[in-house]
Structure 1
Amino acid sequence: MHLSGALLLLTFLVPPVWVLDAYGAAPANDPSADVPPFMLLVAVVFGCVSFHVAVQIPSGLLGTWLGRNRTASITYALVLAVAGVLTAVLLWGVLGARLVAQNLLLWADFMARGSLAMAAYVWLSRRLRTRSVQRSVAR
């Protein structure tokens, strides 16, 4: 799970659109600016950690459990389906039902970033499982 969280954090090296919009909204020396620029970095890290804990870990565990006797592509599809639902629920809880429909780009951004990280998780879990099966068969 830490691998998928680390990869998710690395995907934020390419900043989301909302960060770029918020960063250019007010100059740093503008007294009317409500939030200092470094708070955008805090928001990105908090969003990443929240997404990892509320979406990636449960969807990775549930998708891997549901797809344990299936191919990696079916397992990955199950993981993404669970992640899509959990992301929508998370955004609905944070932003409110009215705003989730308006923030489809935010949902798509989190899903695109999360899908890359969860692909690594599915690959690693398959790799470790096949190694443990090969070791047990060899004994």
Structure 2
Amino acid sequence: MSLPRNLPSNPNTEAIGPTTQELLSDEARAYLAKSVSENTIRVVRADLRVFTQWGGTLPTHPEEVANFIAEQARAKKPATLQRYLLILPKWLAAHGHSSSVRTEAMRRVMAGIGRQLDSTPDSAPPLLLEDLKRVTEP
């Protein structure tokens, strides 16, 4: 269950390419390396791992992403699917590949998933004045 070799070790610095990195000062590179939180890096790696373990290839193409999203819709919430659709193009762009996985067909697949699953989030009940008084009393 190891990551493919082409996953970034530090997506913050690899996202701008080696030539640009060489032109940056040590101080600028240090800030670049800290531009995204460790938690974000962990989530990106986990999502890319889900994609590659599903059988996806990096770099990828729109049809493969549409198939991946459609299959993941069986068990994942639409918000998770949207996150996958944000991470994959960013990885592609960071590695110099076409990041055009968000095609009209992909948008329609997501729309169909949303309509099929009725993904309207449940709203929380309103906070009533009596409840507010009760929780703020000493």
Q: TM-score when scaled to structure 1?
A: 0.31
Give the structure, 1 or 2, with the largest relative contact order (CA under 8 Å, sep 6 or more): 1
Bigger-Rg structure (1/2): 2
**Structure richer in helix, relative to its length:** 1
